[in-house]
Amino acid sequence: DGGITQSPKYLFRKEGQNVTLSCEQNLNHDAMYWYRQDPGQGLRLIYYSQIVNDFQKGDIAEGYSVSREKKESFPLTVTSAQKNPTAFYLCASSTTGSSYNSPLHFGNGTRLTVT
Amino acid sequence: QKEVEQNSGPLSVPEGAIASLNCTYSDRGSQSFFWYRQYSGKSPELIMSIYSNGDKEDGRFTAQLNKASQYVSLLIRDSQPSDSATYLCAVNYDYKLSFGAGTTVTVRA
């Protein structure tokens, strides 16, 4: 079955450590996205990529980095520069750049806790 | 970041009643509008998309769009306990989606 796989489901890290969240899709989608969700809040866009080897900052990119070396993969690194990294991270993909007729498909998310 | 505002809730409705969810957005250029359902601890799942002014019905769900008023709504008819979730409104701009904070719906038996 096609879908988006995020791993791990839960991740615990000490403050000051970088951590990388994995996102793989087999839907043959061109565009991929990373969102962050905090309790009681909507989703906020961190980074997005519409094609391989190209990506753009979203609304809250500070303290995060990404790469898009393969169409199927869009890993997110949470660096030690991110002041409040504890959150629920969601990876998504779409057939085009989320324009007309292109809803997002989400992975199951990674819950990151930094202490 | 483009603004997407939803009625804050929580919204409690009796089983069998209609739940009405509202969403307003700031970008007049937006062309695509989506409603997602998110169960506690899970990822959002798409339940409705709407692109033209008017109503769109899918089973017990009806989405309504008024671009002049920059308003989109979702009606859930014959509400069931399984509809208890947070509903997120999403609006496209510049090939991205901006999300509202969500409205939590509780259907009481």
Distance CA A71, CA A54 (A): 11
Q: How far is A17 from chain B (nearest CA, A)?
A: 25
The length of chain A is 115
Q: How far is A18 from chain B (nearest CA, A)?
A: 24
The answer to whether the Cβ–Cβ distance between A98 and B96 falls below 8 Å is: yes
In terms of CA atoms, which chain A residue is nearest residue B93? A99
The answer to whether the Cβ–Cβ distance between A104 and B1 falls below 8 Å is: no
Identify the pLDDT of residue A103.
Answer: 87
Calculate mean pLDDT across residues B50-55.
95
Identify the pLDDT of residue A101.
Answer: 61
3-state secondary structure chain B: CCCEEECCCCEEEECCCCEEEEEEECCCCCCCEEEEEECCCCCCEEEEEECCCEEEEECCEEEEEECCCCEEEEEECCCCHHHCEEEEEEEEECCEEEECCCEEEEEEC
Identify the pLDDT of residue A10.
Answer: 96
B70 neighbors A72 (Cβ within 8 angstroms): no
pLDDT digits (tens, 9 = 90+) for A46-103: 999 999 999 999 999 999 999 999 999 999 999 999 999 999 999 999 987 555 668 8
> Which tops the pLDDT comparison, B30 or A2?
B30
The answer to whether the Cβ–Cβ distance between B88 and A42 falls below 8 Å is: yes
pLDDT digits (tens, 9 = 90+) for B24-42: 999 888 889 999 999 999 9
The answer to whether the Cβ–Cβ distance between B88 and A97 falls below 8 Å is: no
Whether chain A has a CB inside 8 Å of the CB on B96: the answer is yes
In terms of CA atoms, which chain B residue is nearest residue A98? B95
